[in-house]
Amino acid sequence: MTEQKSTPDEVTPLEKWDRARTLMLESLYKPDDRLRGCAYNQRCKDELMAIRDEVIEMVRDMPNPNTPPLAFGKKNSHIEPTITTPNGDISETLMSGALGNYYRSEKKD
């Protein structure tokens, strides 16, 4: 983990956080012989490596707190699948509720 090049002076908080997460992941991936040796001597090396894997997943999945807020009406990046019916397209969630009967029926003009 040696610094290869300097970075521009103007770095956004979003970029700083992403860089810090990348460095944290690099430190988790890097083998630590002394720590693993201690875990081996204490007969808990497998448990240590399992915890390490869980921490890597946690860090990898952490959302950047500096991400700009989503546009009005957007709650997350989830895309709801839709179903095409005789009365138009409808989301699977709505289709499973009270509107499902209307959308399943014959198209009305």
Position 6 confidence tier, pLDDT thresholds 50, 70, 90 = low
Q: Tell me: pLDDT of 3 over 80.
A: no
Give me the pLDDT at residue 101, please.
79
Question: Averaged over 19-43, what is the pLDDT?
Answer: 94
Give me the pLDDT at residue 42, please.
97
Quick: pLDDT tens for 32-90: 999 999 999 999 999 999 999 999 999 999 999 998 887 777 776 677 788 888 878 88
- Distant-in-sequence, close-in-space partners of 30: CB < 8 Å, separation ≥ 6: 1
Distances (CA, A) of 100 to 78, 105, 107: 21, 9, 13
Give me the pLDDT at residue 70, please.
77
Distances (CA, A) of 89 to 55, 76, 81, 83, 107: 42, 21, 10, 6, 12
| pTM, full prediction | 0.58
